[in-house]
């Protein structure tokens, strides 16, 4: 390669060619080769995605990116529709927001301009990333040294904000014509019945700039992938359905405007859902629903949803079986309706065939928002366990909850809700919540509640729970006759046994 065309410039050139539809495949193969320099160091590389057909643009923000000290490239900024429920009428008027995406390695500079002007402050979320931009008039600048899914808020606007999806550079993406690959290059792709059924052993690849308007269905198959940087847009039902499958991977795609949930998984095992980004605004617009499945990892996802962001269940409809060995990690969750995390509502009420959810792990998660007017459906972290379900062996580790608009921090109870259940839950057991923090003022009264001596919530431990910086513990920071739960505050009923609030030092000494 000549000195006049470095690997970094090759990436920029390939991205530019792909934008005008001339070199999509070349761009993909070059991306994988160019992320590491000859001396083994990571190069500063930016890959701009081709323009998405049919997906509406939004002109509220202008976004530019460049490798450190390089040439600015302007990104396309698209419309995202989000939900806002009127608590008086129940109506849901779609709200307009913005999103943009690109790939990079090394260090990248980002410039974001809010075109309506009047910028008084800019906040980059999650807060845990500690990104403080330089703000000059209506423009904010900052750098990234790793892939991030960000929300850039101007003047605390909840909807008129920018969701910036900064991906890693793709490594070894499939090429068009590869064996056992359904390849969708830049452009609009649809099917007459709006359905794409995927056979076993197949990779569905959505290249950057690809827009697929079909529902993707994996049913009774194994060893499949749905990967790439493309978009599933305006799917008529749930965007992705996985049932009775083994070894399915979803990685890197974005889902926009599904008519129902973004991804539904049932009676499946050995799944990986990574770097998924999803936006929904219509009713029942869950991010990821899991039914009767096991050995599932959800990693690095950004979900802004019009129902639960991630919901774990057992039986519903004609799905049957336990749910176990589920790991959710490194995710950012924003529920404009319902819960960021929801566990246990649906199950099998037949007392002769009870089901359970067990060995559930949540780690390193940022919860950005929770807005739910209905008290019985609140909880940034919610256990609403009904239909004979038993939930046990659940761990939360390093969960950061930012101030949300409306709801509770914790809602953990056994229930028999006539809207959804025909029987009460059996129990909640062995829940360990470590390093949960909430910073804000909008949280309503949290609750933990069982239903009777035979339907208990038991063995729940909070280690190093921090509310606005204060550690909530049985031993410190309160009059001795107060309950530690008063410091949350939290209602705990008489059917909760062995509830503990420990400091980190106390937990280490056990």
Q: Domain holding 393: CATH number?
A: 2.160.20
Structural domain includes residue 248: no
Look at the chain and count its residues.
Answer: 510
The per-residue pLDDT for 4 is 29
The CATH number given to whatever domain includes residue 126 is 2.60.350.10
Same domain (yes/no): 309, 418: yes
Residues of the chain with pLDDT under 70: 1-41
Domain match, 493 and 378 both: yes
Residue 450 lies in a domain: yes
CA dist 408 → 39, 83, 371 (Å): 51, 19, 9
Residues 276 and 153 in one domain: no
- Do 160 and 275 lie in one domain? The reply is no
Instruction: Give the tokens for residue 377.
Output: 């459906």
Q: Are residues 269 and 138 in the same domain?
A: no
For position 36, what pLDDT does the model report?
Answer: 57
SS3 26: helix
Please say which residue of 147, 168, 189 terminates a domain.
Answer: 168
Question: How confident is the model at residue 11, as a pLDDT?
Answer: 40
Asked if 145 and 288 sit in the same domain, the reply is no
Query: What would the DSSP string read from start to end of 76-112?
Result: P-EEEEE--B-TTT--B--EEEEEEEEEEES-EEEEE
119 occurs within a structural domain: yes
Whether the Cβ atoms of residue 42 and residue 33 lie closer than 8 Å to each other: no
Q: What pLDDT sits at residue 67?
A: 97
Give the domain-ending residue among 168, 200, 227. Answer: 168
Say if residues 148 and 166 touch (Cβ distance below 8 Å).
Answer: yes
Q: For the chain, what is the domain count?
A: 2
Output the pLDDT for position 42: 78
Domain-embedded: residue 360: yes
Sign of the dihedral defined by the CA atoms of residues 35, 38, 42, 43, in that order: negative
C-alpha dihedral (152, 123, 382, 361), degrees to nearest 10: 80
HSE (side-chain half, CA atoms, 13 Å) at 468: 8
Domain boundary among 153, 168, 183: 168
Model pLDDT, residue 33:
39
Tell me if 487 is assigned to some domain.
Answer: yes
Do both 36 and 147 map to the same domain? yes
The answer to whether residue 98 sits within a structural domain is yes
Residue 18 backbone phi and psi in degrees, to 5 = -65, -35
Say yes or no: 273 and 163 in one domain: no
Tell me if 185 is assigned to some domain: no
Residue 245 lies in a domain: no
Range of the domain at 503: 260-509
């Amino acid at each position: 390669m000549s000195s006049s065309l470095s690997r970094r410039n090759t990436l920029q050139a390939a991205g530019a060619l792909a934008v005008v539809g001339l070199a999509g495949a070349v761009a993909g193969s070059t991306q994988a080769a160019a992320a590491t320099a000859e001396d083994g160091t990571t190069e500063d590389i930016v890959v701009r995605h081709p323009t998405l057909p049919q997906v509406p643009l939004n002109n509220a923000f202008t976004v530019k990116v460049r490798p450190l000290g390089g040439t600015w490239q302007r990104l396309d900024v698209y419309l995202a529709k989000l939900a806002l429920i009127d608590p008086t009428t129940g109506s849901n008027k779609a709200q307009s927001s913005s999103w943009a995406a690109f790939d990079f390695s090394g260090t990248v500079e980002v410039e974001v301009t809010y075109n309506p002007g009047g910028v008084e402050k800019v906040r980059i979320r999650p807060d845990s990333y500690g990104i403080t931009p330089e703000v000059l008039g209506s423009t904010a600048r900052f750098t990234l040294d790793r892939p991030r899914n960000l929300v850039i808020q101007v003047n605390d606007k909840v909807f008129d904000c920018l969701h910036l999806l900064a991906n890693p550079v793709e490594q070894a993406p499939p090429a068009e014509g590869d064996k056992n690959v359904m390849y969708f290059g830049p452009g609009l792709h649809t099917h007459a019945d709006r359905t794409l059924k995927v056979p076993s052993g197949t990779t569905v690849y959505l290249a950057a700039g690809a827009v697929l308007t079909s529902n993707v269905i994996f049913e009774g198959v194994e060893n499949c992938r749905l990967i790439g940087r493309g978009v599933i847009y305006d799917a008529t039902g749930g965007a992705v359905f996985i049932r009775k499958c083994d070894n399915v991977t979803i990685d890197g795609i974005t889902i926009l405007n599904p008519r129902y949930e973004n991804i539904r998984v049932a009676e499946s095992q050995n799944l990986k859902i990574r770097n998924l980004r999803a936006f929904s605004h219509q009713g029942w617009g869950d991010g990821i629903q899991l039914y009767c499945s096991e050995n599932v990892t959800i990693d690095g996802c950004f979900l802004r949803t019009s129902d639960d962001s991630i919901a774990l269940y057992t039986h519903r409809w004609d799905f049957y079986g336990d749910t176990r060995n589920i790991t959710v990690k490194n995710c950012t969750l924003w529920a404009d309706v319902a819960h960021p995390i929801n566990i246990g509502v649906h199950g099998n009420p037949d007392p002769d065939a009870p089901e359970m959810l067990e060995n559930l792990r949540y780690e390193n998660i940022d919860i950005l928002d929770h807005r739910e007017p209905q008290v019985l459906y609140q909880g940034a972290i919610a256990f609403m366990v009904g239909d004979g379900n038993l939930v046990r062996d659940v761990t939360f580790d390093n969960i950061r909850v930012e101030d949300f608009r409306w709801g509770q921090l914790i809602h953990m109870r056994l229930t028999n809700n006539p809207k959804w259940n025909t029987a009460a839950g059996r129990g909640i057991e062995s829940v360990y919540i470590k390093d949960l923090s909430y910073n804000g003022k909008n949280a309503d009264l949290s609750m933990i509640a069982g239903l009777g001596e035979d339907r208990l919530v038991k063995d729940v431990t909070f280690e190093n729970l921090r509310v606005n910086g204060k550690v909530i513990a049985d031993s410190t920071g309160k009059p001795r006759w107060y309950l530690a739960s008063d410091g949350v505050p939290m209602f705990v009923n008489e059917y909760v046994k062995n509830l503990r609030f420990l400091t980190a030092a106390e937990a280490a000494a056990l």
